[in-house]
Chains A and B, each alone.
Chain A
Amino acid sequence: MPEGKELYMLMLRRMMLIRKFDETVKDLVQSAELVGMAHCYIGEEAVAVGACTALRDEDYITGNHRSHGHPISKGGDVRRAMAELLGKATGYCKGKGGSMHLADFDIGILGESGIVGSALPVAVGAAMGSKMQNNDRVVISFFGDGASNQGACHEAMNLASIWKLPVIFLCENNQYAVTTSFKDTVSTENVSDRATAYNMPGVLVDGQDVMAMHEATVHAIQRARAGKGPTLLEAKTYRYEDHSEGLNRILREPYRTEEEVEFWRQRDPIDIHSKWLLENDVASQEEIDKVQHDVYEAIGDALQFARESPYPDEADLFTDMFADPIPLR
């Protein structure tokens, strides 16, 4: 696992990758090259990057509909991710999943769930599997403030706690579920306050600070690997974009103020980390610019790869249904 400067630069690179990936997604939605729904992670990059850079390759993550940031944070391939978004055969899921369902089981990305809150029990099961196979692997389950109100979330946390499973519940509290403020839907002041009810630590973290996210996750992972059970981390964060791209064409009522958005833009995770790198003499502006440049190239390359890739065939409709196939029609 990378440490020191290598780690800090990796954090920068992955945050920038997500930013550029999702800015590209915005454009693709606008030009109607990307069909269906796409939920951007812009503004929230430090959450998944801080957390996933604390994981080993063989550790697991599960996620949700806001699905691009998690796999990229864990080292997923932006080419296959972009190809998936364009519905191509070379995509992570051969074009069968699309934007909300990226997965890379080879590097522990157990898939993103479009049903809000639905991946939490799956994460608990993966942690059961780790514990039963005694392989020291931990699981991070990313979910939103909206998802925190699902029954599945409650059941998953209780299960993980009674069985002391190596799972970290990471609530990305971007403060809204579509247009509904979490203040109107969560009965406690913070989602992490609920941890008390599950007899696990509940930790509030600044989700715009990648270093803080990383450190909090490292602690939770230590606890998980030591067999002490789950932790509920709550990252306070913000999405700059609307819930999904193009939603502003439908919405009739403002649900947040310009000032609020601007306030959070001033707390941009990439700016904060870049500043930290400079102030602590970890990296020069040239080095930071170089990362930015490389990222632009990588995303440009990913887009080209996705565009040039073939679509799946009609015959693929019935493949991948079963591991032990049966006749289908």
Chain B
Amino acid sequence: MGEITYSDALNHALKEEMRRDEKVFLMGESIRGGIYGVTGGLSQEFDKRVIDTPLSENGFMGAAVGAAAVGMRPIVQSLASFAWVAMDQLVSQAAKMRFMFGGQVNLPIVYRWGLLYGNNIAAHHADRPYPMFMNMPGLKIAIPSTPADAKGLLKTAIRDNDPVMFFEDNNLAGSRGEVSEDPEICIPFGKAEVKREGADVTVVTIAGMLRPALAVADELESDGISVEVIDPRTIVPLDTKTILDSVEKTGRLVVVDPAHRSCSVASEISSIVSQEGFWSLQAPIQRVTSLDCHFPFSPALEHLVYPNEDKIADAINLTLE
């Protein structure tokens, strides 16, 4: 075990899996140089298996489908906000192909999406579109919040035989944590992790929201409030049992999700818990999400849109009133 960054953890997962399976290859824009801080150096070892593409997201996201259909295991890298450009291939081909053709083909593809938000880059770059894909059957979706989860989930994604949307929170890129060097350690999909145990309130967090939630939990501890923090880690499949079990214990739920509010992961989790855990609830469920407006550039405005520690603390307190 050693402490490494989230980005390095992703890099290690790629390197280990590319060594393990020569069908695995990488595609993306300027990834040989390593523009996103993860793939740099891989081309030295894997050469032709690290492919710089033209700026044709729809084209190469679709090419990944074709390559996977004939036996390769492509990993495609881009920014989450560029997914819109490639929507047709992601949805009409990657997500729908297997079912529509009666299960004739497996599509082992990993689409790696950088989530950039909170860095004054305005609406075109600051996107968190995973809830939209949650609404599209046929895609598995992972969103790691720690270096260990990043590595373990990415390895699972690469070995999985279906298209996986893998969202990487760029705000965590430099965050450090203990990560196993054992190349066989994979984190299974559909297993939430209780990141902090508590008895009074359940807080479910998505991606980068884990850290502010943990900070709030530490703070409230001194006020005698015991907060349980859960990261589902994959939202498709979603480990509803861990969440429902926790709510049964605490009776209160706050979901923190950096996506926009309407039809967010927070919305989905809230609806599941209100339907299946209703009799455990002692207070209305609270959602802490980005507002339903776009991200403004201005530093005076942007931070107002996101969930933050204050908003999380307020929501927790609301459930305790």
A interface with B by C-beta (< 8 Å): 60, 62, 91-97, 101, 103-106, 110-111, 113-115, 118-130, 132-133, 137, 139, 151-152, 155-156, 158-159, 162, 319-324, 326-328
Contact A321 B59 (CB under 8 A): no
Does B92 lie within 8 Å of A159, measured CB to CB?
A: no
B58 within 8 A of A: yes
CB within 8 Å for A97 and B101 given contacts A118-B93, A128-B66: yes
Q: What is the minimal beta-carbon distance from A292 to any residue of chain B, in angstroms? A: 32
On chain A, the residues within 8 Å of B189 by CB distance are 326
Q: Does B171 contact A (CB under 8 A)?
A: no
| Minimum distance in angstroms from A160 CB to a CB of chain B | 9
Indicate which residue in A125, A151, A162 contacts B66 across the interface (CB closer than 8 Å).
A125
Q: Which B residues are in CB contact (< 8 Å) with A321?
A: 98-99, 137-138
Assess the A320–B98 pair: CB atoms within 8 A.
Answer: yes
Does chain A have a CB within 8 A of B62?
yes
A93-B62 Cα distance, complex, nearest whole Å: 21
Q: Are B67 and A118 in contact (CB under 8 A)?
A: no
Verify A124–B70 contact, CB threshold 8 A.
no
Rounded to whole angstroms, the CA-CA distance of A133 and B25 in the bound complex is 12
B138 CB contacts on chain A under 8 angstroms:
321-322
Bound complex: CA of A171 vs CA of B56, how far in Å?
Answer: 21
Is the pair A162, B54 in contact by a Cβ cutoff of 8 Å? yes
**In the bound complex, CA of A328 to CA of B237 (Å):** 8
Binds A, one of B102-110, B252-260, B299-307: B102-110
| With A96-B99, A97-B101, A152-B89 as contacts: A129 and B160 at CB distance below 8 Å | no
Q: Are B89 and A129 within 8 A (Cβ)?
A: no
Please name 6 pairs of A and B residues whose Cβ atoms are closer than 8 Å in the assembled complex, sorted by A.
A97-B101, A104-B104, A120-B62, A126-B67, A156-B59, A320-B99
Q: Are A152 and B59 in contact (CB under 8 A)?
A: yes
Q: Is the CB of B69 within 8 A of A125?
A: yes
In the complex, which of the residues B66, B69, B237 has the most CB atoms of chain A within 10 Å of its own CB atom?
B66
Shortest Cβ distance from B292 into chain A, in angstroms? 28
The smallest beta-carbon distance between A167 and chain B, in angstroms, is 9
**Residues of B with C-beta under 8 A to A158:** 54, 56, 59
* Distance between Cα atoms of A151 and B97 in the complex (Å): 20
B248 at interface by CB-CB < 8 Å? no
**Using a CB–CB distance below 8 Å, which chain B residues touch chain A?**
25, 48, 53-54, 56, 58-72, 74, 88-89, 92-93, 97-108, 137-138, 140, 160-162, 189-190, 236-237
B101: contacting residue among A101, A124, A152, A322, CB under 8 A: A101
Complex contact B66–A324 (CB within 8 A): no
B280 to chain A, nearest CB (A): 20
A162 surroundings in chain B (CB, below 8 A): 54
CA distance A162 to B237 in the complex (A): 38
The answer to whether B98 and A323 touch across the interface, beta carbons within 8 angstroms, is yes
Interface centre among A97, A159, A322, A326 (most CB of B within 10 A): A322
Q: What's the Cα separation between A228 and B212 when bound, in Å?
A: 55
- Whether B65 and A121, one on each chain, are in contact in the complex, defined by CB atoms closer than 8 angstroms, is yes
Contact with A121, one of B60, B103, B108, B162 (Cβ below 8 angstroms): B60
User: With the chains together, A320 CA to B93 CA distance in Å?
Assistant: 15
Query: How distant is the Cα of A52 from the Cα of B104 in the complex, in angstroms?
Result: 21
Question: Across the interface, which residues of A come within 8 angstroms of B63, CB to CB?
Answer: 121-122, 124-125, 128, 156, 159
Chain A CB count within 10 A is highest, among B53, B103, B105, for: B103
Q: How far is the CB of A193 from chain B (nearest CB, A)?
A: 21
Closest to A137 in B: B70
Q: Closest residue to A162 on the B side, CB-wise? A: B54
Instruction: Decide: A128 near B72, CB < 8 A? Known: A111-B101, A326-B190.
Output: yes
| Minimal beta-carbon separation of B70 from chain A (angstroms) | 4
With a cutoff of 8 Å between Cβ atoms, the chain B residues found around residue A320 in the complex are 98-99, 102-103
